[in-house]
A and B are shown apart, each in its own frame.
Chain A
């Protein structure tokens, strides 16, 4: 997983390094740089924290403080498909808990974990903002609405098939 990603992400890492050089001096660039690093590596490796710290002149401890403050940043790699289950009000009153349970049963992981095959990570978010489609989840950039436990199974099946064919194809 790490190896193949390293190859694919070479371009992005280059982009991150360009960003780092270009934006290092500009005010308030830290969050942007962390976002760029995460985009490149899939997460924020410890080495990168020190690296950014040296270039922009902010202590690593302070950068760590910023990373842990915002829910977007993660210190561990994620699965190929990131499932964000909405815990907003509309989803809550429309039985969102059942959907979460279906996801957990189907994937065998709980919120915050990644499946062993590296395909899925499960996260919960406060609100995805498409309440009229409650209950809702997002897989990578795709939103899936009006979910039922059965629909969840079908959707996951589709991703699983895509995920497996993708990796055997390359």
Chain B
């Protein structure tokens, strides 16, 4: 029996996965039996897409960067003639360091992603799925379950880091017959795609986690609040829920017990603030997603005023594993106060971008260099941005920092939901702060004055600075506004909105000062502060830059030095990129 698995997560599809799948389908169709072709979720190595795995008698061969042509060759040589095509197999590549991507990882949340067919409940069952919920229903009391999760040390993976077991206990103890469990899948941070990959690659594990939570707190109804921008995740979830209903895993008396549980999907309509739990609840109720004052916490008064427990996708995906493997195993990983693993979406200027699950306590340097393979194009590592618009930048000099909720918070950044953007010398920190503030300013729901207007004023100051019109007193003004926004906003969005500005001011203050005092952008990013020129000594007059220039701002005769007409130049940098001699300089 030979199995061909094509990685068809969103990343795989955009890299051309469907064409590869079709190519396999054609050749398999005309072949004999004993070969199965299926799709699977994100394997995490997005930088190697399209990924294809051939499973033969328990041996796994992973092919990277597969095209439809390669697919036909792989089928011909490997599947039909049992001759694996060594040069395309990732593990066999000359540089075995590629393998390092997985070596330091510890896969709990992503245990099934990329290995099972997410559309098949039987595949999930065959891999130990739905055993944890049956164990809970048969052998454990709700109190046992809560104790187990408390002892595991699991903390909310959405970014807040609140102890999950404690949250469940509050919801369990809250009075009221009707209770709800909500899965927060409104992954909104720009730069984060962990939850999408889990929902696309292993939807059943999230559903099982919700079942266990529902049993523990005594809820009979669940909601998954998922972004409508994730159409594939929504389809996979619907399919998974249907399958569960057919088998009696969801509905009345799940798994033959006396416990009822059903799950509905609510598609978010596009509002970042709905990731905040009280805003999310308002949105499920069909209202504008505006947060409200806490307490009362959702555990006491949540959806439609009833006790409600909200956890994030990744938190739920951890639950079945903890129940099956014991809280001791989970608590054995990580630091004193941060246990288990964390999934990170590695992106930015890194060699191996993708999805990595690492044990807590690993250092930032290990993630960037060992797992991520270092910085692209041999550039210098400058900083990592963690926690998206609510987080901050941690400079390369602090690369020995351990991944731990409290240690990261001390730097001014936050663990966040798992977006980890790696920045190199070409990233301007003022521009990056401006980018995040533009985002939060847009997404502020408008309820609190400081969040609504204060972020706008901060943004105006940053725009002024990057346009070369910054004033000496601007930095003090930014800090003053930041403090006031933090202390007078109702929800996490406003309370954390100034973080990107504050952390860059803390660690990269000299960059702000260079923009203001010298009217220079040290990273050569801010267009108002840079100029492109052509070095007449180096220019051979090959005319390549002039041909590429979108606004005809480069003049010169063939085989004679060219020059940039500054009035016309839009500073797009194309000439800088295409010059084969390095004659275009940026100052």
B270 partner residues in chain A, CB cutoff 8 A: 70-72, 125
Q: State in angstroms the CA–CA spacing of A74 and B82 once bound together.
A: 55
B577 to chain A, nearest CB (A): 10
Does any Cβ of A come within 8 Å of B353's Cβ?
yes
State whether A129 and B193 are in contact (beta carbons under 8 Å apart), knowing that A93-B349, A145-B15 are contacts in the complex. Answer: yes
Contact-size category for B:
35 or more
B 264-277 to A, binary, CB cutoff 8 A, 1 in contact else 0: 00111111100000
A87 partner residues in chain B, CB cutoff 8 A: 190, 439
Q: State in angstroms the CA–CA spacing of A146 and B347 once bound together.
A: 13
Does any Cβ of A come within 8 Å of B502's Cβ?
no
Pair A143/B10 contact, Cβ less than 8 Å = yes
Q: State in angstroms the CA–CA spacing of A130 and B272 once bound together.
A: 17
State whether A128 and B231 are in contact (beta carbons under 8 Å apart), knowing that A70-B270, A73-B269 are contacts in the complex. Answer: no
State whether A130 and B572 are in contact (beta carbons under 8 Å apart), knowing that A71-B270, A125-B229 are contacts in the complex. Answer: no
A153 to chain B, nearest CB (A): 12
A65 partner residues in chain B, CB cutoff 8 A: 288
Selected interface stretch from B89-97, B154-162, B419-427: B419-427
State whether A89 and B421 are in contact (beta carbons under 8 Å apart), knowing that A128-B229, A130-B14, A133-B14 are contacts in the complex. Answer: yes
B290 to chain A, nearest CB (A): 8
Q: State in angstroms the CA–CA spacing of A127 and B193 once bound together.
A: 9
Q: Return the contact of B435 from the options A35, A89, A136, A142 (Cβ within 8 A).
A: A89
Pair A93/B196 contact, Cβ less than 8 Å = no
Does any Cβ of B come within 8 Å of A49's Cβ?
no
State whether A126 and B354 are in contact (beta carbons under 8 Å apart), knowing that A69-B288, A141-B231 are contacts in the complex. Answer: no
A73 partner residues in chain B, CB cutoff 8 A: 269
Using CB atoms, name the residue of chain B closest to A31: B286
Chain B residues 299-350 with CB under 8 Å of chain A are 304, 345-349
B287 partner residues in chain A, CB cutoff 8 A: 30, 66
Using CB atoms, name the residue of chain A closest to B446: A69
Pair A145/B190 contact, Cβ less than 8 Å = no
Does any Cβ of B come within 8 Å of A90's Cβ?
yes
* Most chain B CB within a 10 A radius of its CB, from A88, A89, A128: A89
B 433-445 to A, binary, CB cutoff 8 A, 1 in contact else 0: 0011001001101
Pair B289/A69 contact, Cβ less than 8 Å = yes
Chain A residues 113-165 with CB under 8 Å of chain B are 125-134, 136, 141-146
A101 partner residues in chain B, CB cutoff 8 A: 572
Q: Return the contact of B14 from the options A34, A88, A136 (Cβ within 8 A).
A: A136
B525 to chain A, nearest CB (A): 9
Does any Cβ of B come within 8 Å of A28's Cβ?
yes
Q: Return the contact of A72 from the options B192, B228, B353, B436 (Cβ within 8 A).
A: B228
Pair A31/B269 contact, Cβ less than 8 Å = yes
Using CB atoms, name the residue of chain A closest to B189: A127
Pair B347/A131 contact, Cβ less than 8 Å = yes
State whether A66 and B288 are in contact (beta carbons under 8 Å apart), knowing that A31-B269, A35-B269, A132-B347 are contacts in the complex. Answer: yes
Using CB atoms, name the residue of chain A closest to B193: A129
A48 to chain B, nearest CB (A): 16
Q: Return the contact of B190 from the options A70, A89, A105, A143 (Cβ within 8 A).
A: A89
Does any Cβ of A come within 8 Å of B432's Cβ?
yes
Pair A127/B46 contact, Cβ less than 8 Å = no
Q: State in angstroms the CA–CA spacing of A28 and B180 once bound together.
A: 15
Pair A29/B191 contact, Cβ less than 8 Å = no
Using CB atoms, name the residue of chain A closest to B16: A145
Using CB atoms, name the residue of chain A closest to B443: A126
Does any Cβ of A come within 8 Å of B13's Cβ?
yes
A 41-78 to B, binary, CB cutoff 8 A, 1 in contact else 0: 00000000000000000000000011001111100000
Chain B residues 238-295 with CB under 8 Å of chain A are 266-272, 283-290
Chain B residues 168-224 with CB under 8 Å of chain A are 187-193, 196
Pair B353/A28 contact, Cβ less than 8 Å = no
Pair B271/A127 contact, Cβ less than 8 Å = no
* Most chain B CB within a 10 A radius of its CB, from A31, A101, A125, A146: A31
Q: State in angstroms the CA–CA spacing of A130 and B49 once bound together.
A: 12
Q: State in angstroms the CA–CA spacing of A72 and B189 once bound together.
A: 17
Q: State in angstroms the CA–CA spacing of A84 and B14 once bound together.
A: 14
State whether A70 and B289 are in contact (beta carbons under 8 Å apart), knowing that A129-B192, A131-B345, A145-B14 are contacts in the complex. Answer: yes
Pair B269/A130 contact, Cβ less than 8 Å = no
Q: State in angstroms the CA–CA spacing of A28 and B304 once bound together.
A: 9
Pair B419/A89 contact, Cβ less than 8 Å = yes
The 23 listed contacts between A and B (C-beta, < 8 Å) are A27-B285, A27-B304, A31-B266, A66-B288, A69-B288, A69-B290, A70-B270, A71-B269, A72-B228, A72-B269, A87-B439, A92-B432, A93-B421, A125-B229, A129-B10, A129-B192, A129-B193, A130-B196, A131-B191, A132-B46, A132-B47, A145-B14, A146-B15
